[in-house]
């Protein structure tokens, strides 16, 4: 199985996934980083890890790269661009995303800030399949984080990221092992 990671920013999830693959924890080949921002820090991380980087500005370029590199699984990790319904259909239940809240609460690009400002006491991380709507597809895994009274936004963000770096590799491991069964909105983790 060949995986492409799509990212536009810092790339801490890219690094966590790359590390897990290198350690043999996820039986996939990390074939590609697709990035839409030439200045993104994730590009240097991919190069250092020996992962091919495709800087893509249009969806045609993205599709071409996916076909050329025979990609079976796409992991979105801070990719700040909405994929078209056509691409989502073509890779149905083969595109996974991570979101820094307990969906369906706090969708959108500023979730951690929004969580903090709202004053909730429990938040978390969601890994889900991607469908045509933003932060919406069938949920694979979720994990919770307590918001403590003395947490700053930065402290909360650090806790969320730490959890993301465990949860995302775990979800990808289950996918690669053929252990995720999707029926409608329900995702079952099988024992096989």
Q: Which is nearer to ligand GRF, 131 or 164 (CB)?
A: 164
Residue nearest to ligand GRF (CB): 78
Minimal distance in Å, beta carbon 180 to ligand GRF?
Answer: 19
69 a catalytic residue: no
Size (the chain), residues? 192
We find the least distance from the C-beta atom of residue 3 to ligand GRF, in angstroms, to be 15
Between residues 109 and 189, which has the closer beta carbon with respect to ligand GRF?
109
Minimum distance, C-beta of residue 179 to ligand GRF, in the bound complex (Å) = 22
Q: Which of 69, 99, 161, 165 is labelled catalytic?
A: 99
CB 183 to ligand GRF: min, Å = 25
Q: Which residues contact ligand GRF (rule: CB under 6 A)?
A: 7, 9-14, 77-78, 98-100, 164
Residue 85 Cα to chain centre, angstroms: 18
Closer to ligand GRF by CB, 19 or 64: give it: 19
Q: Which residues are catalytic?
A: 99
């Amino acid at each position: 199985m060949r995986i492409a990671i799509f990212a536009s920013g810092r790339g801490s999830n890219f690094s966590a996934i790359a590390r897990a693959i290198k350690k043999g924890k996820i039986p996939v080949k990390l074939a590609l980083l697709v990035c839409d921002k030439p200045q993104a820090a994730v590009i240097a991380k991919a190069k250092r890890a020996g992962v091919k980087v495709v800087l893509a500005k249009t969806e045609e370029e993205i599709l071409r790269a996916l076909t050329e590199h025979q990609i079976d699984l796409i992991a979105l990790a801070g990719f700040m661009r909405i994929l078209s319904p056509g691409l989502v259909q073509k890779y149905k239940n083969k595109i996974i995303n991570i979101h820094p809240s307990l969906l369906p609460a706090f969708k959108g690009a500023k979730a951690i800030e929004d969580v903090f400002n709202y004053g909730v006491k429990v938040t978390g991380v969601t890994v889900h399949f991607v469908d045509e709507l933003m932060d919406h597809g069938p949920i694979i895994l979720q994990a919770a984080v307590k918001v403590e009274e003395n947490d700053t936004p930065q402290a909360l963000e650090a806790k969320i990221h730490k959890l993301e770096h465990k949860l995302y590799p775990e979800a990808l491991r289950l996918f690669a092992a053929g252990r995720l069964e999707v029926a409608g909105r329900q995702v079952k983790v099988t024992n096989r």
